[in-house]
Amino acid sequence: MTERIKIIFDGKTFEFPLLIGTEGEKAIDIKALRSKTGLITLDPGYGNTGSCTSDITFMDGEKGILRYRGIPVEQLAEHSSFRETAFLLINGELPTENQLKRFSVMLNDHSLIHEDMQFFFQNLPRASHPMGILSSMVTALKSFYPELPDMEKDVDTTVTRLLSKIRTLAAMSYKISRGHKVVYPRPDLPYCANFLNMMFDSPVKPYKIDEDVVKALNIFWILHADHEQNCSTSAVRLVGSGKVNLYAAISAGIAALWGPLHGGANQAVIEMLEKLATQGADIKNLIERAKDKNDPFRLMGFGHRVYKTYDPRAKIMKATCDKLLAKFNISDPLLDLAKALEEAALTDDYFISHNLYPNVDFYSGIVLRAIGIPTNMFTVMFAIGRLPGWISQWKESMEESQWKLGRPRQIYTGLMKRDFVPIEKRS
Ligand code: ACO
């Protein structure tokens, strides 16, 4: 028999089912709480609230575990490609050789974007943030590519189209922002190499594809590919629950990711390190500021809602960073500063007692810098990586058994009923 959890309220006992996930996570199922008891729950920031059940990603914040469809992220980073990991997340299984080939062909077939979209870019102010541009462009895709009527084909095509076009859009916005000629996608190149070529190839200096750079980018995107019900994924699910089209739901995810407490942290980390470098690298002062409750400053790239130990992605990112910089003999003073800052924080009582460790964003910016990505594109890079996760979570939430319009409640704390006062009588 299913175990029950008892709630005693107003002298009465109410019973609710206990849910247990495949990894032993326990939850009280309160779907009937309000109808049975008249109560709702209050959980700002949703730290104790499960918004759905999901088969996609498992993470254990205490043990530092992250798995996509059961496979540890460490194994995927070592052996898989971003394209293959995207397939795994969206379809639930690793592809066979034929499935991967077909997926690659589809990605290539959909890599061009409508020429008219260039006019959008050209008329946006040069100083526009690439995340704002990306979010608008993804919404605009709906106008250029209205969905097909056949549902099966529709979902596959829409999803692949989005995965492929987002990379073209990102590279195109970079080229246009610099006043450079747009580079078209090349059908002979795989996903990551194709993106790098669109970003950095030019008629005067052809881009030389380096396999270690391609591997680093694959790892970066694999590590960002999904992270269960985080801020932007929850935005995608919530907006999607209103049955908007996929493009609109993903655009909401991009907007949510932009913030410095979420995906924007990778840009904020580099800006923090650059400031630290120009202000004499006073690490002690920075640590003291991060601990001071009267100072709004926080150590960017540190802390996580779920991880209370070292973020497993940060470990891989740090190793990738060391490898890449060593290969190209790059000496990045920001890497030395980051390592010194990490050491100082990890031996500080405040950071130890608050379980604050580097998160994925702490070293990712240095990897992106080594690849040649400009700082204001960092969060766009995160968004491309997170896209398979958003898509798979959206797909799962649209399944009949899962779909429910998202609509939290609240506890009203404003004024009680009072009468309207005409303007001449207001003091
Ligand atoms: N620097 C200093 N103190 C911190 C930091 C930090 N980076 N992060 C958390 N704390 C402290 C808080 O001040 C608070 O202290 P208190 O309990 O003494 O008041 C305690 O740790 C808990 O902090 P919360 O904000 O309640 O924790 P929450 O789980 O809501 O925050 C968050 C998680 C937003 C990521 C936070 O750690 C943070 O702001 N980090 C910096 C931004 C960052 O790196 N974001 C990227 C996260 S990863 C991602 O989204 C891709």
Angle between helix axes 333-346 and 361-371 (nearest 10 degrees) is 170
239 domain residue, yes or no: yes
Cβ(205)–Cβ(211) below 8 Å:
no
By most ligand atoms within 8 Å of CB, the mutation choice from 57, 356, 361 for ligand 1 is: 356
Domain count, the chain: 3
Q: Judge if 54 and 83 occupy the same domain.
A: no
15 domain residue, yes or no: yes
Q: What's the 345 CA to ligand 1 centre distance in angstroms?
A: 14
Last residue in a domain, options 65, 93, 117: 65
Q: Three-class SS of residue 306?
A: coil
Cβ(370)–Cβ(332) below 8 Å:
yes
Q: Judge if 253 and 324 occupy the same domain.
A: no
What pLDDT is recorded for position 123? 84
pTM of the model: 0.94
273 domain residue, yes or no: yes
C-alpha span between 236 and 253 (Å, rounded): 5
What pLDDT is recorded for position 246? 92
What pLDDT is recorded for position 1? 57
382 domain residue, yes or no: no
10 domain residue, yes or no: yes
Q: What's the 193 CA to ligand 1 centre distance in angstroms?
A: 35
Cβ(18)–Cβ(3) below 8 Å:
yes
Q: Judge if 15 and 80 occupy the same domain.
A: no
Q: Whose CA is nearest to atom 16 of ligand 1?
A: 354
Q: What's the 149 CA to ligand 1 centre distance in angstroms?
A: 45
Minimum-distance ligand 1 atom for the alpha carbon of 311: 48
Q: Judge if 52 and 21 occupy the same domain.
A: yes
Minimum-distance ligand 1 atom for the alpha carbon of 227: 51
> What are φ and ψ of residue 11, in 5° steps?
75, 0
- Cβ of 320: how many Cβ atoms within 10 Å? 24
Q: Whose CA is nearest to atom 11 of ligand 1?
A: 354
Tens of pLDDT along the chain (427 residues)? 578 999 999 999 999 999 999 999 999 999 999 999 999 999 999 999 999 999 999 999 999 999 999 999 999 999 999 999 999 999 999 999 999 999 999 999 999 998 888 888 778 887 888 899 999 999 999 888 876 666 556 788 889 999 999 999 999 988 888 888 899 999 999 999 999 999 999 999 999 999 999 999 999 999 999 999 999 999 999 999 999 999 999 999 999 999 999 999 999 999 999 999 998 879 999 999 999 999 999 999 999 999 999 999 999 999 999 999 999 998 889 989 999 999 999 999 999 999 999 999 999 999 999 999 999 999 999 999 999 999 999 999 998 787 899 999 999 999 999 999 999 999 8
Q: What's the 300 CA to ligand 1 centre distance in angstroms?
A: 9
Angle between helix axes 283-291 and 333-346 (nearest 10 degrees) is 50
Q: Judge if 220 and 125 occupy the same domain.
A: yes
The enclosing domain of 45 has a CATH number of 2.20.28
Angle between helix axes 82-91 and 191-200 (nearest 10 degrees) is 130
Cβ(130)–Cβ(170) below 8 Å:
yes
Active site residues: 304, 361
What pLDDT is recorded for position 152? 58
Q: Judge if 48 and 183 occupy the same domain.
A: no
Q: Judge if 256 and 275 occupy the same domain.
A: no
Q: Judge if 250 and 278 occupy the same domain.
A: no
Angle between helix axes 246-257 and 378-398 (nearest 10 degrees) is 140
Q: Whose CA is nearest to atom 22 of ligand 1?
A: 354
Degrees to nearest 5, angle at CA 156 with 118 and 166: 30
What pLDDT is recorded for position 148? 62
The enclosing domain of 194 has a CATH number of 1.10.580.10
409 domain residue, yes or no: no
Degrees to nearest 5, angle at CA 294 with 292 and 296: 85
Q: Whose CA is nearest to atom 31 of ligand 1?
A: 305
What pLDDT is recorded for position 22? 97
What pLDDT is recorded for position 169? 94
The enclosing domain of 344 has a CATH number of 1.10.230.10
Last residue in a domain, options 35, 50, 65: 65
Pocket lining for ligand 1, CB < 6 angstroms: 45, 261-263, 265, 290, 298-305, 354, 356, 359-361
Among 85, 88, 69, CA closest to 77: 85
Q: What's the 356 CA to ligand 1 centre distance in angstroms?
A: 8
Q: Judge if 227 and 299 occupy the same domain.
A: no
407 domain residue, yes or no: no
By most ligand atoms within 8 Å of CB, the mutation choice from 287, 302, 317 for ligand 1 is: 302
Q: Judge if 290 and 163 occupy the same domain.
A: no
C-alpha span between 207 and 372 (Å, rounded): 12
112 domain residue, yes or no: yes
Q: Judge if 298 and 332 occupy the same domain.
A: yes
Q: Judge if 257 and 282 occupy the same domain.
A: no
Q: What's the 47 CA to ligand 1 centre distance in angstroms?
A: 13
3-state helix, strand, coil in the chain (%, to 5): 55, 5, 40
Torsion-angle region of 46 (φ positive above 0: left; ψ -120 to 50: alpha; else: beta): left
Domain that holds residue 182: 69-262+388-398
Write the CB contacts of 143 (distance below 8 Å, at least 6 apart in sequence).
Answer: none
C-alpha span between 355 and 353 (Å, rounded): 6
Minimum-distance ligand 1 atom for the alpha carbon of 301: 44
